[in-house]
Structure formats: C-alpha cells, structure tokens
Amino acid sequence: MKKHLYAFCIISCLCIELLIAQTKSTSIRILDFNYQPIEAAKLKVLESAEVFITDKQGKVFLDLDPNKIYTFQIEYQGEQYQEQIKNAERNLYTFYIGTKQNQIDEVVVSAARKFAEKKTETVGKMPQENLESSQSYNIIPQELLKERSVTDMKSALLAAPGIANITNGLGAGGFTVIAKMRGFSTGSGSLKNGYRTSQTTMSDLANIEAIEIIKGPAGTLYGTSNEISYGGIINIVTKKPKPYSFGEASYSYGAYDLSRLTLDFNTPINESKTVLFRFNTALQRGRTFQDFGKDNTIFFAPAFRFLVNDRLTLNIEAEYSKAEKNMIAVGYLPKGFNELAAFDWNVKQSFSSNDLTMKSDVLNVMTSADYRISNRWTSKTIFSSANTNNHSNYLFAVPLTRDTIGRRIMRIPSEFITTSIQQNFVGVYGNEKWTNKLLIGVDYNDDKYYTQRKMLNYYDKVNRFQNVPAINMAKVDQLFANAQESAINTLNRTMGIYLSDVFSLNNRLHINAGLRMDRYKDLVTDFEETYFSPKFGAVYEVIDNQVSLFGNYTNGFTNGRMVLENVQFNAATIKPQEAAQYEFGVKYELFDKKLHGNASYYNIDVTNVPFTILEETGKSTTVQNGRQRSRGFEFDLTTKPFPGMHLIIGYGYNDSRFTKGDEKTLGKKPQGTPYHVGNFWASYSLLEGKLQGLGLGFGGNYSDDFYGDDYNTFKMPGYFLLDASVFYERDRFRVSVKGNNLTNKQYLTTNFWLYAQPTRTVLGTISYRF
C-alpha cells in the first residue's frame, strides 16, 4: 500500500511540474500610438473570461500556455479592441490601441484636430501641458504644411505668427533659413528634436513632423549658439517610426519646371512590433523664379525605433542630403536713394549664371535612449553627430550707382562638424493636491568650422538696364587662381549643467524656476568663460483647463568670444552678451479646443552689445557697453467654428531700438525689423455629399515697412502676399493646386544683405496613401 502511495505522490508531483512547465509568466503592455502607457484599461481573456486591469505602466501579468491561442478584448474609454497571441513564447507583448492618425476616414477632420494640439516635450524638456507652461510657443504641424502645399522652410515659417524677414542665411553655405523674431535674427537649422545639430543640416520638409517655435531667450535650457537667438528658437521635430504599416507617395510639379517626388514609408519589422522602421525621401529638380538659378535636392532619412523592453526604448535616425542652388545677395543702395521703390529694382534679374552655384553634402546622425528608472524617474540620453561639406560660390550684386552694379564673388569651401551629447533626468512627485516635476540635465557641444575664403572684388561692373552677360565660370576660375586666400577656423566647446523645477498646486497654480551654468572654451585662442543663466515663471489657470494667465523672466546669452569673433580684442575685457526678457500674457483653449491661442506682451533688454568708436587719432576701437531694447505684443488664434472649417490668425507688433552705443545708430531700429507683421489661413472642406473631400483654402502674409540697415539710411517697402489653394481628398488620394503670391508682388527681405523673393508661382500635387 505504501508503494502505491509513494508512486501516486511521485506521479502527482510530475503532473504538477508538467502543468507548470506548460505555462509561462507573461506581461502584456498596452500603449497608445504615441507609445504612452494606458492605465486602467480592461483586458479580458475571451477563452477563460478572466478580466485584468492595467497598472500605471499599462501592464498586466498572466500565466499563458505556449501551446494555446489566446484572444484578448481590450476596453478603454468606451472603445473596444481585439488582439490575439498564438504562441506565447516571449515574456512581453505590446498591444497598441487608439486611432491611427493616417487611417482616419475623415482626414480633414483629423487635420483640424491636429491644428489645435500643442503637445510637446521640447519647450521645458519635460512633459507639460500648454496651459501649464509659462513659455510662449507655437507649433506648425505637418498637416498644415501639407494643406498649404509647402515644399521649403522659408514658406513653412510664413505660417507662424510674429515672424518677419525670412531669408536664406549667409555664412552656412546659404543652406540655412534665418528669420526675425521679436527683433532678433533666428536660424532654423541647428535644433532638431530639442537638441543641437550643425547649423547647416537643414531637414527637408519630407522628414518634418512639426516645426516648434519657442519665443524669447531660452539660454537656461538650450545654452548658446549662432542659431539660438534672443527672439526665440526654432526646433524641427522629425518623423518617427510608428507601430503600424503605412505609406504615402507624392509628386509635385510647378512653375519654373519644379519637379518634386517624396515618399514616406513605415513598417514594423517584427511580429511583436518592437522593432520599427520609417523611411522618408525627397528628390527635387527645378529652376528659380529669376533669369538664372537652380534648386536641386536629393534627400534620404531612415529611422529605427527599438522597444527593447518596457523600460528601454532606442531611437536611431539619419539624414543625408546633396543640394545645389544659387545664393545671390544684393548690397545696400547707393547714396541719394532712401527708398527701394525709387530705385526700380527688378527682383527677377539675378546677374548670375546657372553654373555659379553652391553645393552641399550633409550627413546627420541622431540617436537617443529613453529609460524608465522607476515609477517617478525617467532618463533620456542623446547623441548627435553632424557633418556638412559646402562648396559655395556667393554672388553679391552691389549697387554702385543707379545704373551700375558691381558683381562681387566669394568662393568659400567649408566643413562644419558638430558633436552633441545630452543627458536628462526627469522626476515627477506628488499627490492629488500637488505635483512637482524636476529636470536635471547636462549637455556637451563640440563645434568645428574650417574654411578657405577667396574673393573677387569685383568680377566686373555692368549696367543693369542693358544686356548683362552671364557669369563666365572659366573666367571666374582663372581669376580665383591668383586671388588671395584666407583661412578661418572656428573651434569651440561648451559644457552646460542645468536644473528646472515646476511645482503645481491644485492643478491650477504652476510655478517654475531654472538655472544653467555654461562653460565655454575657444580652442583657437584658449579663451574660457563661465556664465549663469536663470529663469522664472508662473501660471494660474483662471478657468481650469481652459484659460490661464502667465508671466516669465527668461535669460539668453552669447559667449563673449562669439560676439567678437572677427575683432582683435583684449581677452581680459571680453564680456558675454546677455538678454533678459519679461513677458506677461494669457493662453486659452476653449470649446473643447475648437478655439485656442495666446496673447502676450514682452520686453527684451540686451546688454554688452559691441560697437566701434572712431578716435581723434583716426584709430578705431571696439567697446562692449551698447544696449538694445525690443518690446512688443503678439497674438495668435486657431479656431474650428464648424465642421470642415478652420481659421488661423497671427499678429505681431515689435518696437526694437538701439538705446545705447554708436551715435549713428542710437535710437534707430535694427535692420529688418518692421513694426507690424500678420498672417492668416482659412480653409473649408465638404464632409458629405457627392463632393465630399473637396476643399478651398486661402491666406496671406503682411509686413510693414522696415529699414535695410542699422543706420536707417534707406527704407524697404512692406508687402502683402496672397495665396490660395483648391484640393480634393477622398479615400487614399489627394490632389491639390496651390497659387503663391497671386498678386505677383515684387519684394525683398533683408538680413544684413538684401534678398529677392519669389513672384507668382503655381504648384500642383498628387498624393497616394497606401
């Protein structure tokens, strides 16, 4: 009897062990399509009717048999989803629920909803709602760029309120875009996804998810560079891989033989959707609106996302581009001409040739690792490497008299290398009554710029009212062979440590403070400098989640060696240039975000501005005690008054002056700073009926008059541009025709030099989603 009992016990133990071996502990993670965990979702196993509720990480834990098929029903916020696991061989499965942005039947409705969103982690380098932030910012989403048929960065920035004088930038091969924000020049190339890259690595719009415009000085979190100005910064958000398959191919053809092909392709690589891939490309060829000029681009942008586990996510993306275009700058008017209109300038006349071009070869690699340390702390590690090789031929058309133009040519082969490393830790503490968010960060930036410059002053002098011969490249090469060459090498490193804290009480009062210590070193001169940059802000939600009043003090700075880059100066007397901004305003998100925007008043005071003093002996010296003040008002509004209709309005007033310094500029306005700028865009789409998907859009941009130089010796006329489009979107197809500058306005913008802008153009686009 005992033997049978022993045998029974052994067999029972073996059976239990076998049963245990057939089940496997598995965790299921439920995320939305932005990779955010879904808490309190109900997961039901249909085979057993068991029900589980997800935790804060969106996870549930189950024991699954690898030999069985499991069907799961997920319920969240009144919606139901279904997923299935056939072989439970892994420890972690990820399910995605919610709406796939590209698969919404009513794409127009989706786009209108997207215009109302201000979701970003860039502004404060931590998760924060718009109404909680004391910072003014605007976001231009790709949906708006698509509706406006935008193909270049200059046109894209016209959608932002308060921006003026958008031009291509000298000093970077002409491949960056520079705009005036709150009275200061701001570049749009060096900040991607919230961290530094080279100022010359402009992303093609084919790879841009959104353009974020952060207003005012932002030195506390972003430090200093040639592209981060006191008026604000422009951050480019690139497209990221998604956990579902989709694609879109688009072809555009327009005025001046512009031909542009783009492709956006996304797919999960493995069945568990933990390895994701996205590829964007653009191929463009065309001429410019002037009598000579090219605009050619080849662009590729692959991106990978690895969801390693429920704590770690890796992102790897790259951008490679080759571009060729012309860079033509116009000099100041000769004496005797106080207004451009009286000078009778023809913007379509380039004075160049199709062979005098700039060529750029760019490789940009960006990687990041997001790690959840605990329920309260997260880590983000970033590495970016950018390399640009430019072979640039600049043409400067310099008016010598009313009739005579001197053609100055500069040849500037250059290499830009930027390496950036950033580490951020974010901790979130609190309860139902209060929340505290703490950011601790450090960044390191290494910038190298190598160039050999030659100049022909002048290649020749021509009468602009007679037949002007095209630039002869054989003659240019011959003249450059004997031209004097000068080398300019810029090497600097910066190390920054920063803290930022946001304390929220009862979800209504939000107080923030931050401090940065920045250590700068010029490796050419061994000049070193340390700077401290503080910021403060407060927000009170007058109407919870609808209206908030805000105020801020923000600080920006430029290291002294960068301010006096081309000036011989006593290193012991160099001071960093500093900007301090005070801003007050109101933000609103009303009627379920169908009406949202903000209005604010700001005052920016810049100290340690350098200027030159001419002594009685004839010797000139540079001093650094000048000041510039910029103050103004900005307003923007986005509304969707009824289905299918949306309206965007922006306005900016700016009064910028030199308040101390050079007697010739004292009290004068900086060049390129108009008092008034405005923009608007309205569109309407039919949502039902036989013509469902048919839409119309129109908009415009206005700029007041502005001065062409800091001495205010001549005035540039303002302008009003009018654009319009008609589009039809149904199922997977979209067809559009867009007209730009329909009134055929001839105008120039300025950034130390003058730049002719396009006259009337028409562009047709057809897209197919798959």
For 738-752, the pLDDT digits (tens) are: 999 999 999 999 988
Among candidate residues 185, 208, 237, the one where a domain is terminated: 237
Rounded to 5 degrees, φ, ψ at 88 are: -80, 75
* CA atoms lying within 13 Å on the CB side of residue 246: 14
Q: How many domains does the chain have?
A: 3
- Report if residue 16 sits inside a domain: no
What is the distance, to the nearest Å, from the Cα of residue 765 to the centroid of all Cα atoms in its chain? 24
β-strand partners of 207: none
CA nearest 314: which of 236, 235, 380? 380
One domain for residues 699 and 752? yes
One domain for residues 288 and 422? yes
DSSP 8-state assignment for residue 102? G
Give pLDDT tens digits for 67-79.
888 888 898 888 8
- Cβ 761 vs Cβ 174: under 8 Å: no
Give pLDDT tens digits for 383-407.
999 999 988 899 999 999 999 999 9
One domain for residues 203 and 325? no
Percent of the chain whose predicted confidence (pLDDT) is above 70: 90
Mean pLDDT of the chain: 88
- Report if residue 314 sits inside a domain: yes
Tell me if the pTM is above 0.75.
yes
Give residue 93's pLDDT: 82
Strands ordered across the beta sheet of 79-85: 50-53, 42-45, 70-76, 79-85
17: pLDDT confidence band, cut at 50, 70 and 90? very low
For residue 172, give the CATH number of its domain. Answer: 2.170.130.10
- Report if residue 63 sits inside a domain: yes
One domain for residues 373 and 500? yes
The amino acid sitting at 371 is: Y
pLDDT of 275 above 90: yes
Out of 3-17, 253-267, 475-489, pick the least confident.
Answer: 3-17
One domain for residues 312 and 409? yes
pLDDT of 572 above 70: no
Give residue 14's pLDDT: 44
pLDDT of 688 above 80: yes
Give residue 113's pLDDT: 46
Measure the CA–CA gap between 205 and 436, rounded to whole angstroms: 37
Give residue 489's pLDDT: 87
Measure the CA–CA gap between 617 and 611, rounded to whole angstroms: 18
Torsion of the alpha carbons at 206, 212, 216 and 222, rounded to the nearest 10: -80
One domain for residues 174 and 310? no
421: pLDDT confidence band, cut at 50, 70 and 90? very high
Torsion of the alpha carbons at 446, 447, 448 and 451, rounded to the nearest 10: 180
- Report if residue 14 sits inside a domain: no
For residue 74, give the CATH number of its domain. Answer: 2.60.40.1120
| Top-confidence residue, 317 or 432 | 317
One domain for residues 222 and 243? no
Q: What are 414's two structure tokens?
A: 């250059």
Tell me which range, 62-76, 214-228, 582-596, is most confidently predicted by mean pLDDT.
Answer: 582-596
- Report if residue 6 sits inside a domain: no
Q: 37 to each of 40, 55, 294, 311, 439, how far by Cα in Å?
A: 10, 9, 48, 11, 21
37: pLDDT confidence band, cut at 50, 70 and 90? confident
One domain for residues 344 and 381? yes
Residue 43 CB: number of other CB atoms within 10 A? 22
Give residue 565's pLDDT: 66
pLDDT of 59 above 60: yes
Measure the CA–CA gap between 239 and 241, rounded to whole angstroms: 7
pLDDT of 590 above 50: yes
pLDDT of 5 above 70: no
For residues 131-153, give the mean pLDDT: 92
For residue 754, give the CATH number of its domain. Answer: 2.40.170.20
DSSP 8-state assignment for residue 97? -
Give residue 200's pLDDT: 64
Measure the CA–CA gap between 88 and 272, rounded to whole angstroms: 11
Measure the CA–CA gap between 428 and 500, rounded to whole angstroms: 12
Give residue 82's domain range. 22-98
End-to-end CA distance of the chain: 72
- Report if residue 603 sits inside a domain: yes
Q: What are 474's two structure tokens?
A: 């054989």
DSSP 8-state assignment for residue 571? G
Give residue 317's pLDDT: 96
Among candidate residues 194, 214, 237, the one where a domain is terminated: 237
Q: 684 to each of 165, 633, 644, 727, 733, how far by Cα in Å?
A: 29, 29, 5, 10, 18
pLDDT of 454 above 60: yes
Residue 563 — left, alpha, or beta (φ > 0 → left; ψ -120 to 50 → alpha)?
Answer: alpha
pLDDT of 283 above 90: yes
Give residue 615's pLDDT: 65
One domain for residues 388 and 469? yes
- Report if residue 10 sits inside a domain: no
- Report if residue 8 sits inside a domain: no
Percent of the chain whose predicted confidence (pLDDT) is above 90: 60
Among candidate residues 45, 80, 98, the one where a domain is terminated: 98
One domain for residues 597 and 725? yes
Measure the CA–CA gap between 174 and 190, rounded to whole angstroms: 14
CA angle 735/738/741 to nearest 5° reads 175
Give residue 110's pLDDT: 43
Give pLDDT tens digits for 691-708.
999 999 999 999 999 999
pLDDT of 455 above 80: yes
pLDDT of 558 above 80: yes
For residues 410-434, give the mean pLDDT: 93
One domain for residues 638 and 556? yes
Give pLDDT tens digits for 605-658.
999 888 777 666 667 777 788 899 999 999 999 999 888 899 999 999 999 999
For residues 329-353, give the mean pLDDT: 88
One domain for residues 555 and 642? yes
